Structure formats: structure tokens, C-alpha cells
């Protein structure tokens, strides 16, 4: 039979363990609660302070986007175009009902003037989900497109230092376009070509580094003579850069629309 001191030791030990377990449980609950709060905080997507959505039935072929810091006005734009803008997509990257290109809306929205560019896209996503009940998921799909590869004669450019400002600018008169690029990678060039061809172009050149170059071409296949004569984009890429566009199936990230309402909820 245990003596009094032994019994007291057991009682102390048991009480101490119970207290420690209780304290551990409280700490665990606090951490779990904090984690839950963090998850909810991360799930909050930026949204416009106020927004108006109205159907545009003008029948006009003209559309516009204009704005000032903290204020944006979209006029007569299709629902598909709003989805493209919200998710930074090309038209061929959206899988959804055909009527998305047939309904037009005007959107006027206000937001904090110091909002980041990427947050403005998220705000438009929030509006589409709230007002049109948009639900989507993402997939990768093999589609006809182009691979940007090194041509037979070899790559023609010399890399430049990464310091300083870079960027691209495209201008033209509708018959001839000129791309001026500073400190531009081949992956960025593939994205620019994608925009011009409206087909996916992936960089498979294996060329690293940044480059300065000017690319001049005509989007009009009939523009083969006169003062404004310029080669096609395919020819200009090969003659100027030593690259070529090789037609093949390429992986394309697409957004699949699971649900969307044709009419928005009221303002």
C-alpha cells in the first residue's frame, strides 16, 4: 500500500499532467481559430466599392473602355469580353455557351484610386460571380497552335543587359505594324505573337536572356507592294530574328464556364 508521500506525488503528477493537457488543448484551439481566420482572410477577394451593370441594346458595333484613377466605364462590351478581361484570357481560352458573344452590357464601377492592376481584374471577377453567378474551373487542352522555334539559319540577336527599363510597343496604320521591343524574352515574344494571331504560341526556342529588336510586318496578305510594303508576320520573324512558327498542337490553359446567368441581378 502506498504511503502518504507517494500518494501525494501521484496526485501532484496527475494534476500537473491534467493542467498541461488542458493548457495544450487551449493553445491548440487558439491556433486552430487563428488558422481558420487566416483562411477566411485569404479567401476574401477584392471587390468594387460600387458598380452598376446595365444591358446595352443599342445594336451598335462600337465599344469602349475609359477611366480615371478609382473609376472605370465599360460601354457596349460582350459578356465574353468581360470574362476575357477578368481572367486575362484570349477568346480561344474560354469554353462556354455561344450566347456570351451576343449579349452586351455597360458597367460603371468605383474602387480605391491606389488599387493594383491585378486587383482590378479580381474585382471584375467578383462582379461577374456576384451579378451573373459565374462559376468556372480550369483545364489544360491540346489545341492547334504554333511553337516558336529557332530557324535553320540560327538565332540572329545578341542578348542585352537586364538592368534598366524594358517593355514593348506596337503601332501602325492598319496596313503595316511595327513592334519595338526592349529587354524582351522569347516567352514574352510568344505572348505578343499569340495576341496578333489569336492562336496560342508557345516558346520552344530554348533561347535564354533578354533582347532588343524591332519587328515590322503586314497583317494584310495583299500588302505586297508600294511604299508600305511589308512581309507577313511569319516571314518577318524569320528574316529579322532567325525564328520561325511551326504549326503543331500545343497545350492551352482554358477556363470552362460551369454556370452563368444571361441577365445580371439588379443594381
Q: Are residues 56 and 126 in the same domain?
A: yes
- Give the mean model confidence (pLDDT) for residues 259-266: 94
Q: Are residues 128 and 146 in the same domain?
A: no
Condensed to tens digits (0 to 9), the pLDDT of residues 1-21 reads 445 444 444 344 445 444 444
CA dihedral (81, 84, 90, 96) in degrees, to 10, reads: -80
The total of structural domains in the chain comes to 2
CB of 167 within 8 A of CB of 212?
A: no
Asked if the structure places residue 259 within a domain, the reply is no
- Give the mean model confidence (pLDDT) for residues 31-47: 55
Question: Does 213 score more than 50 pLDDT?
Answer: yes
Condensed to tens digits (0 to 9), the pLDDT of residues 94-117 reads 999 999 999 999 999 999 999 998
Q: Which domain holds residue 237?
A: 142-253
Q: Identify the CA nearest to 182 among candidates 156, 201, 204, 160.
A: 160
Asked if the structure places residue 151 within a domain, the reply is yes
pLDDT score for 223: 53
pTM above 0.75, yes or no: no
- Band of the pLDDT at 89, cuts 50, 70, 90? very high
Q: For every residue of 133-174, which 3-state class applies, written as one string?
A: CCEEEEEEEEEEEEEEEECCCCCCCCCECCCCCCEEEEEECC
Q: Of the candidates 98, 132, 166, which is a domain's last residue?
A: 132
pLDDT score for 36: 45
Among 26-40, 84-98, 182-196, 226-240, the least confident range: 26-40
Strands 64-68 and 201-203 turn out to be unpaired
Asked if the structure places residue 266 within a domain, the reply is no
Condensed to tens digits (0 to 9), the pLDDT of residues 120-176 reads 999 999 999 999 999 999 999 999 999 999 999 999 999 999 888 899 999 888 789
Q: Are residues 70 and 161 in the same domain?
A: no
pLDDT score for 221: 64
Asked if the structure places residue 220 within a domain, the reply is yes
Q: Of the candidates 132, 161, 188, which is a domain's last residue?
A: 132
Question: Does 34 score more than 80 pLDDT?
Answer: no
- Give the mean model confidence (pLDDT) for residues 40-56: 83
What is the chain's mean pLDDT, rounded? 86
pLDDT score for 10: 39
Check residue 249 and give left, alpha or beta (phi > 0: left; psi -120 to 50: alpha).
Answer: beta
SS3 9: helix
pLDDT score for 253: 95
pLDDT score for 75: 97
Q: Are residues 153 and 229 in the same domain?
A: yes
Amino acid at each position: 500500500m502506498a504511503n502518504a508521500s507517494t500518494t501525494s506525488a501521484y496526485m501532484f503528477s496527475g494534476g500537473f499532467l491534467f493542467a498541461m493537457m488542458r493548457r495544450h488543448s487551449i493553445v491548440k484551439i487558439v491556433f486552430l481559430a487563428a488558422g481558420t481566420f487566416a483562411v477566411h482572410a485569404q479567401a476574401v477577394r477584392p471587390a468594387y466599392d460600387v458598380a452598376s451593370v446595365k444591358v446595352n441594346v443599342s445594336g451598335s458595333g462600337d465599344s469602349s473602355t475609359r477611366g480615371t484613377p478609382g473609376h472605370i466605364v465599360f460601354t457596349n462590351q460582350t459578356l465574353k469580353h468581360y470574362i476575357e478581361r477578368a481572367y486575362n484570357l484570349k477568346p480561344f481560352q474560354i469554353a462556354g455557351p455561344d450566347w456570351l458573344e451576343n449579349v452586351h452590357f455597360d458597367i460603371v464601377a468605383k474602387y480605391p484610386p491606389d488599387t493594383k492592376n491585378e486587383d482590378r481584374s479580381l474585382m471584375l471577377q467578383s462582379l461577374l460571380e456576384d451579378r451573373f453567378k459565374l462559376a468556372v474551373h480550369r483545364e489544360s487542352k491540346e489545341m492547334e497552335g504554333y511553337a516558336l522555334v529557332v530557324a535553320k539559319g540560327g538565332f540572329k540577336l545578341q542578348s542585352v543587359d537586364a538592368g534598366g527599363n524594358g517593355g514593348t510597343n506596337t503601332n501602325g496604320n492598319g496596313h503595316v505594324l511595327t513592334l519595338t521591343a526592349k529587354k524582351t524574352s522569347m516567352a514574352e515574344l510568344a505572348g505578343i505573337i499569340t495576341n496578333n494571331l489569336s492562336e496560342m504560341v508557345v516558346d520552344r526556342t530554348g533561347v535564354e536572356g533578354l533582347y532588343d529588336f524591332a519587328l515590322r510586318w503586314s497583317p494584310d496578305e495583299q500588302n505586297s507592294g508600294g511604299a508600305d510594303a511589308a512581309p507577313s508576320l511569319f516571314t518577318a520573324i524569320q528574316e529579322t530574328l532567325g525564328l520561325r512558327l511551326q504549326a503543331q498542337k500545343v497545350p492551352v490553359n482554358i477556363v470552362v464556364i460551369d454556370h452563368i446567368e444571361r441577365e445580371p441581378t439588379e443594381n
